[in-house]
């Protein structure tokens, strides 16, 4: 089998998706399975759907189109604000989009009228992480106009935390979201279907017995794919954290001095390459795997192996003894390493043992 390759265990993903949807369903929370880390790969998307997830979400309309073209009929949510230049595609392929700009919602309304479709809108509220979101003071005005726009249906409100500034979902900001939902419903005499509390970073909040208030929806990627919550990178109990592995092949193995020699300056990928603390000689191997294939800092190594450096195409590792040329090393990617491996044309994808 060729390497580098990303191996995906669909049975483990099925288990993770099923377990999470069952636990959240019991709390009255619906899950949108987020497909962006795997670029909407139809086999993986179908695994999530079989496991009981009813809607899929992606930040890129291109990935949503891939799933539509593969015949996936599930409801699709665009989870990044649409681009003005793509509203036609958004209306064509997605049922709902997350929005923060009236100018865009107006454009979606035009496009939806043209396509004779109803497009659902969830308004995202800024609750402190300072990525996307309408400021609280402006929310009512945006709701008021959204409700008037033809072919637009206001589905609900939502928020996104922990992505830019690392602000954690907690009782306080989640209660604010609930209060906003109540206030909008009271002011406009409407019912909001969706109150979307966030992403995998909401796992601790949701499973630690917090008062969930009006939150009835989460958008989950990492929790399903890697079985972990992203704020402390803790494994979620009962889930697999090894559904994905990245495999690289050894192309050089030699005993080398632990210390580099010569004048030191910057290296290809680091302004200050770390200086090894080891003395004497080490068993150093090189894998044909680098920054063009993955995020080398995001690889969990098997026991006995330490990553010592990486450039575009080389991963330098140290092991107890020299690894045979042509042998393979298997890593567990974190989210960043997974996304990079998924998008790299050099990394082949293998699903349940078959090229995909
Ligand atoms: C990426 C993303 C998600 C999913 O995040 P995970 O941490 O993978 O669960 C949810 N919502 C939005 C807006 C996103 O951009």
Q: Is the CB of 219 under 6 A from ligand 1?
A: yes
> Residue 311: pLDDT above 90?
yes
Does the pLDDT of residue 277 top 90, yes or no? Answer: no
Domains of the chain and CATH, by start: 9-229 (3.20.20.10), 244-352 (2.40.30)
Query: Model-level pTM?
Result: 0.96
Q: Is 230 in the pocket of ligand 1 (CB under 6 A)?
A: yes
pLDDT for res 281? 95
Report the residue among 163, 215, 218 best suited for mutation to probe ligand 1: largest number of ligand atoms under 8 A from its CB. Answer: 163
Question: Using one digit for the tens of pLDDT, what is the confidence trace for 90-116?
Answer: 999 999 999 999 999 999 999 999 999
Which pLDDT tens digit goes with each residue over 193-245? Answer: 999 999 999 999 999 999 999 999 999 999 999 999 999 999 999 999 999 99
SS (H, E, C) the chain: CCCCEEEECHHHHHHHHHHHHHHHHCCCCEEEEECHHHCCCHHHHHHHHHCCCCEEEECCHHHHHHHHHCCCCCEEEECCCCCHHHHHHHHHHCCEEEECCHHHHHHHHHHHHHHCCCEEEEEEECCCCCCCCECHHHHHHHHHHHHHCCCEEEEEEECCCCCCCCCCCCHHHHHHHHHHHHHHHHHHCCCCCEEEEECHHHHHHHHCCCCCCCCCEEEECHHHHHCEECCCCEECCCCCCCCEEEEEEEEEEEEEECCCCCCCCCECCECCCCCCCCCCEEEEEEECCCCCCCCHHHEECCCCEEEEEECCCCEEEEECCCCCCCCEEEEEECHHHHHHHHHCCCCEEEECCEEC
One of 27, 36, 88, 136 is an active-site residue; which one? 36
Report pLDDT for 274: 76
Annotated active-site residue 155? The verdict is no
> Using a 6 Å cutoff on CB, does residue 160 contact ligand 1?
yes
């Amino acid at each position: 089998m060729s390497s580098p390759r990303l191996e995906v265990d669909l049975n483990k993903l099925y288990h993770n998706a099923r377990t999470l949807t069952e636990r959240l369903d019991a709390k009255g929370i619906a899950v949108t399975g987020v497909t962006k880390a795997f670029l909407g790969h139809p086999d993986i998307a179908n695994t999530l759907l079989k496991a009981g997830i009813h809607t899929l979400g992606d930040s890129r309309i291109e990935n949503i189109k891939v799933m539509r073209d593969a015949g996936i009929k599930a409801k699709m949510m665009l989870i990044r604000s649409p681009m003005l230049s793509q509203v036609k595609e958004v209306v064509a392929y997605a049922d709902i989009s997350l929005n923060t700009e009236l100018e865009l919602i107006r454009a979606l309304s035009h496009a939806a009228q043209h396509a004779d479709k109803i497009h659902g809108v969830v308004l995202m509220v800024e609750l402190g992480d300072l990525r996307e979101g309408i400021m609280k003071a402006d929310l009512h005005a945006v709701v008021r106009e959204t409700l008037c726009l033809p072919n637009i249906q206001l589905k609900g409100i939502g928020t996104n935390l922990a992505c830019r500034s690392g602000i954690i979902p907690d009782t306080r900001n989640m209660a604010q979201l609930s209060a906003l939902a109540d206030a909008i419903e009271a002011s406009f005499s409407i019912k909001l279907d969706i109150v979307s509390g966030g992403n995998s970073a909401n796992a601790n909040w949701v499973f630690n017995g917090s008062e969930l208030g009006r939150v009835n929806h989460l958008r989950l990627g990492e929790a399903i794919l890697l079985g972990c919550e992203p704020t402390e990178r803790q494994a979620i109990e009962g889930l697999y954290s090894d559904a994905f592995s990245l495999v690289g092949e050894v192309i050089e193995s030699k005993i080398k001095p632990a210390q580099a020699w010569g004048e030191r300056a910057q290296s290809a990928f680091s302004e200050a390459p770390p200086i090894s603390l080891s003395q004497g000689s080490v068993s150093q191997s090189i894998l044909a795997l680098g920054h063009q294939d993955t995020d080398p800092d995001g690889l969990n190594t098997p026991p006995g192996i330490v990553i010592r450096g990486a450039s575009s195409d080389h991963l330098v590792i140290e092991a107890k003894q020299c690894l045979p040329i042509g042998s393979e090393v298997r890593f567990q990617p974190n989210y960043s390493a997974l996304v990079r491996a998924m998008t790299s044309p050099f990394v082949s994808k293998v699903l349940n043992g078959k090229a995909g």
